Structure 1
């Protein structure tokens, strides 16, 4: 147990060093441009001037002084950032450089360090087929290290995925508008339909949502290596397939392409920005691309 904890602490330090370096060198400016304060805070009242928006007239002050006054607002720069991170069984899959869990942990760490550099608060919801843990938004390095530690070491109770449940929890738990990064492989279906589209639409109306889909190339393209025994990490079901069958490989790929198209449509309808991140590639480029698109 002691050796396992030592290894976790060493990994925590490695993730912190990489995430802090990337957030300082690459992401700090991009993050600031991409995720501006969306709220408007009341500042003062002043006399109405020609061209002012009549919707901002303060009728109480106007009545008191018998001439029109308007409310003046200024942008609230400070953000609350929430990370919704999928900790279901499928996150442990990975056939290339990293598992999906590794990628989600490192990406979340970068976002967290970028947020605190911008003086934003950051919180986390870990979810599987239930909300596993809620870490309320706070600031500071100690808080960030706790988040990274939980992402690396947390052992969920559930194995399956309920993205909609996590989104509903977010909507109820965070009252003010926040910026939310949803990190998942989004393998959450009922039959052939995504289960979370209604919850996504509701959450995106209240919060600034960003979807980060983390996937492994073998979930899209199957190699020709003969008979394979495949297991579903979320349900425990297993089956044998013949990867040498070209027709089967084609259908496998078509199904993966259809899943991505379904997800893209769901994000577009909800007005949610999103990006694909592969376990086989460096996640820096897709993150920078996302930030530039929003900046």
Structure 2
């Protein structure tokens, strides 16, 4: 990708993200993720109806008039966005590839952090850590995040979600907001996912394409696992073979859903063929009530 084209694409993603980040979405995000506690901000004169437990007795004694302490939420939070760059993310049967939705969504989440004065960092991964951008504030950092997701060419094709989660656990000890964006076509990440969900405020975002599990009726097809390279032969004219294939995919999804639910991990599914902002707002509303 030429530099001029890249800059144009970055600007387009940022413009769309800014447009999508409405006051409603910003408010729902802020209500869903709270700071680490309350901190003292100032004292003011007591007004009838104020909580008497907040009276500052030292100031009251000096001024010979009741004053109370005011506290505000220690808001500053850190967000980490983990984005799967494995080859399965390049699939797309509608207007957008899964990777394109992941890029746009990462920009939206970054602007939500910016609007709430939160830091945001990025981890790009396949079966290894491909790129790490430390958490920072500011528009320059968001530009860098969008640029990397759009232009970065991963060295590997397969996925290892545990590698990304374990890396996160090593780089931050303080509780953070974590968004894991993937299609979750991977194995053996259960333990790491549980560990991160206990330590951080984790949300798993599964990006799906409406046709990724459908096969056209064209006879014998050889399917190659986009990440492992394994070859599978299926007769698409054979009803039993097709039913077995669909059942396998359904069971994989059911297993994933059960794991997420049993471990009380926040989950959002985004379909590449549908607008997702309403789903994102709804997700934050539900999260706020928990």
- Identify whether the pair has TM-score above 0.5, normalized to the shorter chain: yes
Distance 1:207 1:17 in 2: 30
Q: Write out per-residue CA displacement over residues 222-253 of structure 1, whole angstroms, 9 at most, x where no aligned residue.
A: 34344434332223344443222222222222
Distance 2:218 2:281 in 1: 36
Distance 1:159 1:226 in 2: 28
Distance 2:278 2:240 in 1: 34
The change in CA–CA distance for 1:24 and 1:286 in structure 2 (over 3 A counts) is: closer
Distance 2:71 2:127 in 1: 41
Q: For structure 1, list consecutive stretches of 5 or more residues without a partner in the other structure.
A: 45-51, 53-71, 190-194
* Cα distance, 1:137 vs structure 2: 0.5
The change in CA–CA distance for 1:286 and 1:227 in structure 2 (over 3 A counts) is: farther
- Where do 1:163-242 residues align within 5 Å? 163-189=161-187, 195-242=188-235
Aligned to 2:279: 286
- Please give the root-mean-square deviation of Cα atoms over the aligned residues, in Å: 2.1
Aligned length: 261
- Where do 1:73-222 residues align within 5 Å? 75-189=73-187, 195-222=188-215
3-state DSSP of counterpart to 1:217: coil
Distance 2:282 2:39 in 1: 34
* Cα distance, 1:142 vs structure 2: 0.9
Distance 1:275 1:254 in 2: 23
Q: In the alignment, is the contact (CA less than 8 A) between 1:40 and 1:73 conserved in 2?
A: no
Question: Does structure 1 residue 244 correspond to structure 2 residue 240?
Answer: no
TM-score if structure 1 supplies the norm length? Answer: 0.82
Q: In the alignment, is the contact (CA less than 8 A) between 2:83 and 2:124 conserved in 1?
A: yes
TM-score if structure 2 supplies the norm length? Answer: 0.83
